[in-house]
Structure 1
Amino acid sequence: MVTAQSINELTTEALENNPGVKASYARFEAEMQTIAQANALPDPTFSFGYFISPVETRVGPQRMKFSLAQMFPWFGTLQAKSDMRTHLAEAAYQEFLDQQQLLELTVRKTYYDLWEIHERVDFIEENLILLISRRELALSGFSVGKNSMADVIRTDIMIEESVTKIRLLQDKIIPLEFQMNAVLNRSQQDSIRIIDRFDSSSLDLPQVADTSLFQNRNIQAVRSRIKAAEAAEELATRQGRPSFGLGLDYVLVDERTVQGLDDNGQDVIMPMVSMSLPIFRKKYKALTQEALLRKEAMEFSEQNMVNEFRSKLELKKYAVESSAENAELYREQVTKAEQVRDLLISDYSNSGAGYDEVLAIEKQLLDYQIKTIKVIREGLIARAEFLYIIAQ
């Protein structure tokens, strides 16, 4: 099956079907579920006790007891826990968005590689047609004694080289199509037909502000984790304070056989208040220190990312601009080489001399054409990486 899709259509399909993106989104959804868990109070406790040997009281023997209790953490503890989980969910969401952008970058890189190979094949096939015509010209000249058979043989050598190059390039297409189909999560037998066309005008870069770098999804995720560490520090502080509990005991009391006893068999209802005593402070100090160290680690990671991405941004910008300049240079060289080739062909047709120069300029022309698409492909990849860094 041959699929003809633009690069934007392939990107959309990959975002919809790629298992890696789906897994990343599932991780985000899982983090979202922890927010509701963080807001919940501890489960209430219910207990039942039966007196095997009844406890005798003035109003009768106690037979059984029911207890219900609910603990409440210190004020703000649940909010701090919820804030921490919310920031972690935000980090997971930014990582999901980064996974999408990485996938788009992979699709674009593979598409540009396929485009370059198809363009190379097209240029070599065009050159092959020209070589065949040159061979006919050399053979015609040989038949009338204007040149030697060596011209024909040299042309045959170049034709064989071109055929081999085409076959090797076509073989190289197969693993790239496998890679693209794997990203798209579809049959490995599907072929990709390249329909987009690129030139030096495709290498324009958008104007970016100094703050654009901070839109990078990885940096956004780290910033969310820094906020989560701050919330964890607050949570550790509040967990080190007492928790309070409210409860109720209900005791069933049997009646005594004594007549005229006030409150005979009166059941007992006993409200209760409890409080935890967090007196072992080492645990809570360690929790606070852990949160502080995690925050410090994330801040260092953020600074490292900013420095690394800022450096990469400049390198990618240079790569795009240099590719555009080289593409224009090679395009001019192609034009001049075509002019030289036409002049040499005219001279050879008239005199039968200079066939080496004809073959040399044909080879040089093909070299300029291949260099043009090579630098454009390199520029396109650098541009895609540039846009990935600034999350565009």
Structure 2
Amino acid sequence: MKRLAATSPLFLLAFLGFETWAHGSESLDAYLREALESNPQLAADFEMVSAARQMGDQVGVLPDPKLSYTEFVSTVETRNGPQERAVSLTQAFPWPGKLTLRRSIADERAKEAFYRYEALQRKIVLEVGLTYFEYAFLGEATEVTSKNLKLLEQLVPVVDTKVRAGGDLGASLRLEVETTRVEDELQALHEKRAALSSRFESLLGREPNLERPLDFPDLPQDTPGIASIESLERGIEGHPLVVAAETGLLSAELAERLSRKSALPDINLGANVIDIGDGGDTAVGLMVGVSIPLFFDKYRAEREEKEALARSARMTVDSVEQQLISDLHAAVQEWREAEKRLELYEEKLLPSSEQAVELTEESYRNDKASVTDLIDAERTLLELQLMNQRALAKIHMAALKVRTLSEPLSVSDR
């Protein structure tokens, strides 16, 4: 078997390019390293790969020879003297090709286990990465909401001054209601932080702590790009789940070939030595034997089983490819939609909303706008800022999905 080295977390992350997302107090790369190094299921799968690699050396060799010794209780008299004891040695030889096929099947199954191990690595990378960006967005949402609350609080003395000067008392009440509403939103974000931080720590292999949530990472402000859909679809061919399915197909086809040889006899070769007492000559004999495949229904059932498994494996390859392509198309569409929204917010809606807030503030100071107008303008700006950050988080999430789906194997044994 061509040896496969286990993919180290460092190599996998460098290969997939996650070091480019190094932002915040702890980068995504650092979190991914920690998750890959501490995940118990990944460690268990690694041991399964190590175990599978040993099977080829077990099934691909001849069975142990058999040595037998006979001491005659009652001697058999011959003309050369009494037979006192006998020693025989036999070795079974499977039909030519059986051992090679058995070893090849075991080696292919070990490769399949390895590729599934690498697929699990990518699943962990995806789960941690998506949670990372969701948590980073939560930090941005908390910051934006906090700023909005401070702006509302800064309006309180201005509104109170106008009320004392004979202005509308309703303006003060509306401001109080809006301030309370934003305070409630901020409290909800803090509560969500504790729950999301707990999930994030669990993915990292840490003990979750509701009382001391993780620091918010910075949401990267750059927008990651993706390749053309044609190039990405070609990359699906190198996805570890596809390669694992193809390797499973190869092992199933080899097993089908082996089943056709099951009815072929195994050969036994041996020799025996008989010790003749009273100075007689020692008798030496050679033995040849074959197994007799009598139970034809058994061998027919075995062939049909392996043929069905091979057909199933072929369909599995197609099914896995189709599912991954479907997932890829969905991720690409998510990326495109998020990019359009991001462009719309940053180039049109946010600048217009910021200008509207400035004009409304000026009008309010000159008694040309009500506090309701000002609150509505601030609320609209807040919502657009949050939607902008959500679109930014979505585009990073979509790019992460695309990358984990379309990058080729980090190591290859094909």
TM-score with structure 1 length normalisation?
0.92
CA distance in 2, matches of 1:325, 1:136: 40
CA drift of 1:17 comes to 1.5
* Partner SS, residue 269 of structure 2: strand
Kept after mapping to 1: 8 A contact 2:219/2:393? no
Worse-superposed segment, 284-293 or 315-324: 284-293
Match of 1:170 among 177, 181, 190: 190
Match of 1:368 among 384, 392, 396: 384
For residues 108 and 209 of structure 1, do their structure 2 counterparts lie closer, same or farther at Cα, with a shift above 3 Å needed? closer
Q: In the alignment, which residue of structure 2 is the partner of 1:95?
A: 116
Q: In the alignment, which residue of structure 1 is the partner of 2:171?
A: 151
Q: In the alignment, which residue of structure 2 is the partner of 1:290?
A: 305
Kept after mapping to 2: 8 A contact 1:6/1:194? no
Counterpart of 1:180, as a letter, is F
Does 2:49 correspond to 1:28? yes
Matches within 5 A, 1:175-214: 175-189=195-209, 191-199=213-221, 201-207=222-228, 208-214=231-237
Match of 1:232 among 228, 235, 255: 255
Q: In the alignment, which residue of structure 2 is the partner of 1:259?
A: none
Kept after mapping to 2: 8 A contact 1:25/1:96? yes
For residues 143 and 351 of structure 1, do their structure 2 counterparts lie closer, same or farther at Cα, with a shift above 3 Å needed? same
CA drift of 1:225 comes to 0.6
For residues 287 and 352 of structure 1, do their structure 2 counterparts lie closer, same or farther at Cα, with a shift above 3 Å needed? same
Match of 1:268 among 272, 278, 283: 283
Match of 2:355 among 339, 354, 369: 339
Q: In the alignment, which residue of structure 2 is the partner of 1:215?
A: 238
CA distance in 1, matches of 2:224, 2:339: 6
CA drift of 1:252 comes to 2.4
Matches within 5 A, 1:99-118: 99-118=120-139
Does 2:84 correspond to 1:84? no
* Partner SS, residue 365 of structure 1: helix
Counterpart of 1:170, as a letter, is H
Worse-superposed segment, 366-375 or 308-317: 308-317
For residues 351 and 210 of structure 1, do their structure 2 counterparts lie closer, same or farther at Cα, with a shift above 3 Å needed? closer
Q: Deviations over 1:35-76 (max 9, x none)?
A: 111222111112222222211111222222222111011111
* Partner SS, residue 194 of structure 1: coil
Does 2:144 correspond to 1:123? yes
CA drift of 1:129 comes to 0.6
Mark the runs of 5 or more structure 2 residues left unpaired by the alignment: 1-23, 409-414
Name which one, 1 or 2, has greater alpha-carbon Rg.
1
* Partner SS, residue 55 of structure 1: strand
CA distance in 1, matches of 2:183, 2:311: 60
Counterpart of 1:329, as a letter, is L
Q: In the alignment, which residue of structure 2 is the partner of 1:132?
A: 153
Kept after mapping to 2: 8 A contact 1:83/1:231? yes
CA drift of 1:352 comes to 6.3
Match of 1:57 among 66, 78, 89: 78
Q: In the alignment, which residue of structure 1 is the partner of 2:274?
A: 251
CA distance in 2, matches of 1:391, 1:78: 36
Counterpart of 2:243, as a letter, is Q
Counterpart of 1:86, as a letter, is D
Instruction: Give the paired residue count.
Output: 380
Does 2:322 correspond to 1:307? yes
CA drift of 1:139 comes to 1.1
CA drift of 1:371 comes to 1.1
Kept after mapping to 2: 8 A contact 1:67/1:249? yes
TM-score with structure 2 length normalisation?
0.87
Q: In the alignment, which residue of structure 2 is the partner of 1:75?
A: 96
Match of 2:59 among 14, 35, 38: 38
Kept after mapping to 2: 8 A contact 1:62/1:252? yes
Kept after mapping to 2: 8 A contact 1:242/1:277? yes
CA drift of 1:326 comes to 0.6
CA drift of 1:355 comes to 1.4
CA distance in 1, matches of 2:193, 2:77: 92
Matches within 5 A, 1:318-357: 318-331=333-346, 332-351=348-367, 353-357=369-373
CA distance in 1, matches of 2:77, 2:161: 130
Kept after mapping to 2: 8 A contact 1:64/1:252? yes
Kept after mapping to 2: 8 A contact 1:203/1:320? no
Counterpart of 2:177, as a letter, is I
Counterpart of 2:383, as a letter, is D
CA drift of 1:318 comes to 1.3
Mark the runs of 5 or more structure 1 residues left unpaired by the alignment: 256-263
Kept after mapping to 2: 8 A contact 1:66/1:249? yes
CA drift of 1:209 comes to 5.0
CA drift of 1:78 comes to 0.9
* Partner SS, residue 62 of structure 2: coil
Kept after mapping to 2: 8 A contact 1:252/1:268? yes
CA distance in 2, matches of 1:26, 1:209: 32
For residues 224 and 128 of structure 1, do their structure 2 counterparts lie closer, same or farther at Cα, with a shift above 3 Å needed? same
How much is the aligned-residue C-alpha RMSD, in angstroms? 1.8
Kept after mapping to 1: 8 A contact 2:263/2:293? yes
CA distance in 2, matches of 1:9, 1:324: 27
